[in-house]
Amino acid sequence: MSILVPVFRPDRRFLEEMLQSILIQNFMDWELICVDDCSESEEVSLVLADMARDPRVKIITRCTNGGIVAASNDALAAARGEFVALVDHDDLLVDGALGAVMHALAQHGDADVLYTDEGHVDSEGLLSNSFHKPDFSPERLRGQMYIGHLGVYRRSLLMRIGGFREGFDGSQDYDLALRATELARRVVHIPQVWYRWRIHSASVSQRSDNAPVFAAARRALEEHLERVGLQGVVEQIHSVGVYRIRYAVIGSPLVSIIIPTRGSSAEVGGQIRCLVVDAVRSVVEKSTYQNFEIVVVADDSMSAQVRADLAQAGGDKLRFVPWSAPFNFAAKINRGVVESQGDFILMLNDDTEVITPDWLEVMLALAQQPDVGMVGPMLYFEDGTIQHGGHVYSGGGPGHVALGHRAGSTGPFAGLLVDREVSGVTGACALMPRAAYFAVGGMNLNLPINFNDVDLCLKVTNAGYRIIWTPHAELFHYESKTRVPRVVHYELDTLTQRWGRNIATDPFWPHGPDEGQ
């Protein structure tokens, strides 16, 4: 294992503590390569010279300051290990970190990229918070450099992609991670805090005014999109290192919006409203993407007035599919899909209302990626708090991410600001390629009320598709306004018997212990 540390004028104490954190590792078969990027500091030189007494340590001193990319490439060129670990000159490895990496490699011999969870510490080394990361999430990586520290790469892969690239100083690790994960056979997440990232006034991560760094990150993302064949515009949406890709919709495919309904009314905003009529009206009047059809699977008991109001609201985009059987949400959705014609299927509850006019474009562009099987949006309750930030399947069973959080919440480590992989999304609003829907067999008729969307999501991921949640498509969901919620125990039993292991630990939700646990 080669540990690469570019060094440039660090605080002496920080440098000494970083070096000591490597010396105490219980895994001993490592080499440390420190490249002094012309610090011109006697203190730095003395600390490095003292460290060099250990035969596993190599010190390289540059005659001129070349920046972090040049220093990192010098370290990479001198490395001999099969894998290289990237460590900043003022950070700390947790005792046992290298051993944990080697254990992961023993389990996954084809791993080319590995990363751990990280703790953030202040200048005194006191832990302020821990970032428990998702398993490999390529969509989230396009929104933020979440892989971060500790990052470990197969050296032959880094040599193959040309190492660190000039012109990306400050975002060189982000650019490297994008290029490496594009070609990696396997990316392994080690779900435990093994790295302490020191956050202080000089940290790039704390400086919102460092325009060249963020410009380099945008350029890295733009070039990444070109390499993987995706079309989109990269925007910085948060002051520190969070980005949005406005993907382009390819062509103008027909979207079939399936709405099962009884045509019930409920109180919203102090008024009694027929929610399905309002839902259809909001889709037709607010949506900027207009190549859609609305398939209303309507109970025979629906009143003539509601039918007339729906016909007026939907116009020639709407058609009715009759339903005379007992209530079964899964069966009604399946029936609507069979009667539809679109290349993409959008399941939509009758108690929803569009907020963002480009909601369909946002979801459709994501669903057009070849390995995406389902996309879900941000949903809000009537009071503006968050109803749905993606599903989480962990511990006590299925739940909603960020349930009840206030609108505008960024979520832990900006998780509510970025497109990201999730284990599932709610069937209240979910877009799927038609081919994917039929490939997994549609909704499970044995789950007529609850968890049919969870079962569908698990089938989608089990078939090898990604599921994406996006905060950039937003709707209201007046949840359960048109049906009294109740959990039928046999449905939960059915779900647990079929998917028990899959709903115990969510790969995209924090599932690792804190440091030292």
List of domains in the chain: 2-206 (3.90.550.10), 255-503 (3.90.550.60)
Give me 286's structure tokens.
């607010």
64 φ, ψ (degrees, to nearest 5): -130, 155
- Cα dist from 85 to 32, 81, 135, 332, 340, whole Å: 9, 10, 19, 53, 52
Question: For residue 271, what are the β-bridge partners?
Answer: 268
- Cα dist from 268 to 215, 271, 347, 361, 445, whole Å: 45, 5, 22, 27, 31
Question: For residue 187, what are the β-bridge partners?
Answer: 113
- H or E element at residue 106: helix 97-107
pLDDT at 455 (0 to 100): 96
What is the rounded average pLDDT for all residues in the chain? 94
At residue 68, does pLDDT exceed 70? yes
pLDDT in tens, 134-179: 999 999 999 999 999 999 999 999 999 999 999 999 999 999 999 9
pLDDT in tens, 226-274: 999 999 999 998 767 999 999 999 999 999 999 999 999 999 989 999 9
pTM: predicted TM-score of the whole model, two decimal places: 0.94
pLDDT at 496 (0 to 100): 85
* Number of residues written out for the chain: 517
Buried b (16+ CB within 10 A) or exposed e, 219-240: bbbebbbeeeebeeebebeeee
Q: What is the DSSP letter of 513?
A: P
pLDDT in tens, 85-126: 999 999 999 999 999 999 999 999 999 999 999 999 998 888
Give me 148's structure tokens.
């971060």
pLDDT in tens, 282-329: 999 999 999 999 999 999 999 999 999 999 999 999 999 999 999 999
pLDDT at 517 (0 to 100): 53
495 φ, ψ (degrees, to nearest 5): -65, -45
At residue 513, does pLDDT exceed 70? no
Please give the average per-residue pLDDT across 482-509, as a whole number. 78
Cα–Cα distance for residue pair 152/256, rounded to 1 Å: 44
pLDDT at 2 (0 to 100): 99
pLDDT at 239 (0 to 100): 66
pLDDT in tens, 19-35: 999 999 999 999 999 99
DSSP helix/strand/coil, 172: helix
pLDDT at 395 (0 to 100): 73
At residue 485, does pLDDT exceed 60? no
* Beta carbons of 112 and 155 less than 8 angstroms apart: no
In 3-state terms the chain splits into helix, strand, coil percentages (rounded to 5) of 30, 30, 40
At residue 481, does pLDDT exceed 80? no
Pairing of strands 292-299, 255-261: parallel
Cα–Cα distance for residue pair 28/99, rounded to 1 Å: 9
Q: Token match 């890295």: residue?
A: 220
At residue 486, does pLDDT exceed 70? no
At residue 482, does pLDDT exceed 80? no
Give residue 465's identity as a one-letter amino acid code. Answer: Y
At residue 200, does pLDDT exceed 90? no
At residue 212, does pLDDT exceed 80? yes
User: Which residue pairs, CB below 8 angstroms and at least 24 apart, start in 324-330?
Assistant: 324/299, 324/300, 327/262, 327/299, 327/448, 327/449, 327/483, 328/445, 328/448, 328/449, 329/260, 329/427, 329/443, 329/448, 329/449, 329/452, 330/442, 330/443, 330/444, 330/445, 330/447, 330/448, 330/452
pLDDT at 9 (0 to 100): 97
